[in-house]
């Protein structure tokens, strides 16, 4: 009853498993790599869907949040503090197990942060930055947030491209794997391909469960009401500003999670992840999938990113997303599933619950 809204999660899980079995049987497990990557990109899209479809705000800088997550993890896990080994702060971190010694590629001993604290630091940092940006800008009309996030994304791009700490145009590589629990690791080696496929999907499904729960809760209703008629929502006692800010920060944290995990998966991250085009891409995906449809956004996210990663769009990659944006806004501003002919399909999928 209450849990009917989670039904698609189970269906999704079945599809995921079925897909894996089929690919393994066909000996085509290399597709799983791109699907895994698409899954991590989809985390950004889920958060952005909450922001755009429910809180009604456009962010043109989500690639920036993705990258703060990724770069923070990368920097912390690849930095070498060996020279400061005995400094009080470092020693304290060592005693807590935050920092540990390991061998790098060349066999030298380096001292860097372990992946878990780095991951948490990445999330906290991203949340903080999103909070600081949203705090002044969300008081203003919608397009000011669009511009501010665009500017923010551009600054992150410049910083990442310009500072030696972030590897400039080469980015950061040799990012170590991320050991989760019980021997599960996030890394890109082909031996771990299937394992990572499931890890990525587990994270995505967990995010979907959180998002679906939120959307169907009192807060989700409030968000929808803000999106559909802000003045009325305000008059009913909803602090629209606080809700928008919270949703913005939440969506940034989702993006950072995707960024950090993908960085460990790929073993590297580069400035190509921070571009405006990437941010536009995420917006286009949410627009196509359906502004307020989490499943639509997820499906489109996987599909479009997968196609893009496989090179199906060729050199026209950017244009495709640009054209999608235009087409969506012109013909189906509520997303494909709200177009009247497809209404039956969408009503079958959602009925009383939302997602």
Partner 1 sequence: MVDVLLETRNLNRFFGGLHAVDDLSIRVPHGAIQAIIGPNGAGKTTLFNLITGVLLPHGGEVFFQGRPVTAWKPHAIAALGIARTFQTTKLFPHMTVLENVMVGRHCRTRSGFLAGMLNLPRTWREDREIEAKAMAILEDFGLAAHACEPASELPFGRQRLVEFARALAMEPSLLLLDEPAAGLNIYETRGLAGLIAQIRSRGVTCLVVDHDMSLVMDISDDVVVLDQGRKIAEGPPRVVQRDPEVIRVYLGDGYA
Partner 2 sequence: MDLTQIVQYCLSGITIGSVYAIVAIGFNIIYNATGIINFAQGEFLIVGAMTAVSLYQVVPLPVAILLAVLITTLLGGLVELVFIRRVRDASVLQLIVITIGLSIVIREAMLHIWDEKVRSLPYFTGTSVSTVSLLGAHISPQVIWVLGVSAVVVTALTLFFRFTLTGRAMRACADDRMAARLCGTNDRWMVTLSFMLSAGIGALAGCVISPVTQTQYDMGAPLAIKGFTVAILGGLGNSIAAVAAGLLLGLLEVFMVSQFQVAYKEAVAIVVLLLVLVFRPHGLFTRREIGALRAS
- Please report, as ranges, the residues that interact with partner 1 according to CB under 8 A: 2, 210-211, 213-214, 217-222, 224-225, 228-229, 231-240, 246, 250, 292, 352
Residues in CB range of 231: below 8 A, 6 or more apart: none
Q: 81 or 130: whose CB is closer to partner 1? A: 130
Nearest by Cα to 355 from 253, 220, 233, 257: 220
What tokens appear for 175 in the block?
């990012």
Residue span binding partner 2 (CB under 8 A) among the ranges 64-72, 139-147, 195-203, 297-305: 139-147
Q: Which residues of 236-269 are buried (b: 16+ CB within 10 A; e: fewer)?
A: eebebeebbbbbbbbbbbbbbbbbbbbbbbbbbb
Q: How far is the CB of 221 from partner 1 (least distance, A)?
A: 6
Q: Is 234 exposed, middle or buried (0-12, 13-18, 19+ CB in 10 A)?
A: middle
Three-state DSSP at 180 gives: coil
Q: Which does 277 bind (CB under 5 to 8 A by kind): partner 1, partner 2, none?
A: partner 2
Taking CB under 8 A as the rule, does residue 148 contact partner 2?
yes
Taking CB under 8 A as the rule, does residue 158 contact partner 2?
yes
Nearest by Cα to 291 from 6, 8, 58: 58
Taking CB under 8 A as the rule, does residue 338 contact partner 2?
no
Q: Which does 218 bind (CB under 5 to 8 A by kind): partner 2, partner 1, none?
A: partner 1
How far, in Å, CA of 58 to CA of 51, rounded?
A: 7
Site for partner 2, residues 271 to 330, rule: CB under 8 A = 276-277, 280, 283-284, 287, 316, 318-319, 321-326, 329-330
Q: Binding residue for partner 2 (CB under 8 A) from 98, 138, 222, 245?
A: 138
Site for partner 2, residues 205 to 244, rule: CB under 8 A = 230-231, 234, 240-241, 244
Q: Does residue 97 contact residue 114 with C-beta atoms inside 8 Å?
A: yes
How far, in Å, CA of 74 to CA of 256, rounded?
A: 12
Q: Is 43 exposed, middle or buried (0-12, 13-18, 19+ CB in 10 A)?
A: buried
Q: Binding residue for partner 2 (CB under 8 A) from 9, 90, 120, 147?
A: 147
Q: Which does 246 bind (CB under 5 to 8 A by kind): partner 1, partner 2, none?
A: partner 1
Q: Which does 217 bind (CB under 5 to 8 A by kind): partner 2, partner 1, none?
A: partner 1
Residues in CB range of 246: below 8 A, 6 or more apart: none
Q: 94 or 234: whose CB is closer to partner 2? A: 234
Q: 118 or 148: whose CB is closer to partner 2? A: 148
Q: How far is the CB of 307 from partner 2 (least distance, A)?
A: 17
Q: Does residue 200 contact residue 39 with C-beta atoms inside 8 Å?
A: yes
Token match 């049987």: residue?
Answer: 25
What tokens appear for 79 in the block?
């930095």
Q: 94 or 221: whose CB is closer to partner 1? A: 221
Q: Is 86 exposed, middle or buried (0-12, 13-18, 19+ CB in 10 A)?
A: exposed
Q: Which does 352 bind (CB under 5 to 8 A by kind): partner 2, partner 1, none?
A: partner 1
Q: Which does 214 bind (CB under 5 to 8 A by kind): partner 1, partner 2, none?
A: partner 1
Please report, as ranges, the residues that interact with partner 2 according to CB under 8 A: 56, 58, 60, 136-144, 146-148, 150-152, 154-155, 158, 162, 230-231, 234, 240-241, 244, 276-277, 280, 283-284, 287, 316, 318-319, 321-326, 329-330, 333
């Amino acid at each position: 009853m209450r849990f009917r809204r989670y039904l698609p999660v189970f269906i999704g899980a079945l599809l995921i498993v079925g897909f894996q079995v089929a690919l393994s049987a066909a000996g085509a497990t290399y597709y799983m790599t791109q699907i895994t990557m698409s899954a991590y990109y989809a985390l950004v899209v889920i958060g952005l869907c909450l922001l755009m479809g429910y809180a009604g705000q456009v962010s043109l800088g989500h690639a920036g949040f993705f990258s703060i997550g990724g770069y923070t993890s990368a920097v912390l896990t690849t930095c070498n503090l060996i020279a400061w080994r005995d400094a009080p702060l470092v020693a304290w971190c060592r005693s807590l197990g935050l920092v540990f010694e390991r061998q790098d590629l060349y066999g030298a001993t380096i001292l860097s942060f372990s992946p878990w604290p780095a991951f948490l630091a990445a999330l906290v940092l991203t949340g903080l930055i999103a909070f600081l940006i949203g705090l002044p800008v969300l008081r203003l009309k919608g397009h000011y947030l669009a511009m501010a996030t665009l500017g923010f994304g551009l600054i992150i791009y410049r910083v990442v491209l310009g500072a030696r700490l972030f590897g400039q145009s080469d980015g950061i590589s040799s990012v170590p794997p991320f050991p989760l629990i019980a021997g599960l690791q996030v890394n890109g080696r082909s031996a771990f391909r299937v394992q990572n496929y499931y890890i990525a999907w587990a994270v995505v499904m967990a995010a979907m469960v959180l998002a679906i729960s939120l959307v169907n809760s009192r807060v989700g209703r409030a968000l929808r009401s803000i999106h559909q008629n802000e003045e009325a929502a305000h008059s009913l006692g909803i602090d629209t500003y606080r809700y928008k800010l919270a949703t913005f920060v939440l969506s940034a944290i989702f993006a950072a999670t995707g960024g950090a995990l993908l960085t460990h998966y790929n073993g590297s991250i580069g400035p190509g992840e921070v571009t405006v085009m990437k941010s536009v891409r995420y917006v286009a995906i949410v627009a196509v999938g359906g502004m307020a449809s989490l499943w639509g956004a997820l499906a489109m996210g996987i599909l479009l990113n997968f196609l893009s990663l496989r090179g199906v769009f060729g050199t026209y990659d950017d244009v495709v997303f640009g054209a999608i944006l235009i087409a969506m806004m012109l013909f189906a501003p509520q997303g494909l599933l709200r177009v009247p002919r497809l209404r039956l399909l969408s009503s079958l999928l959602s009925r009383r619950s939302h997602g």
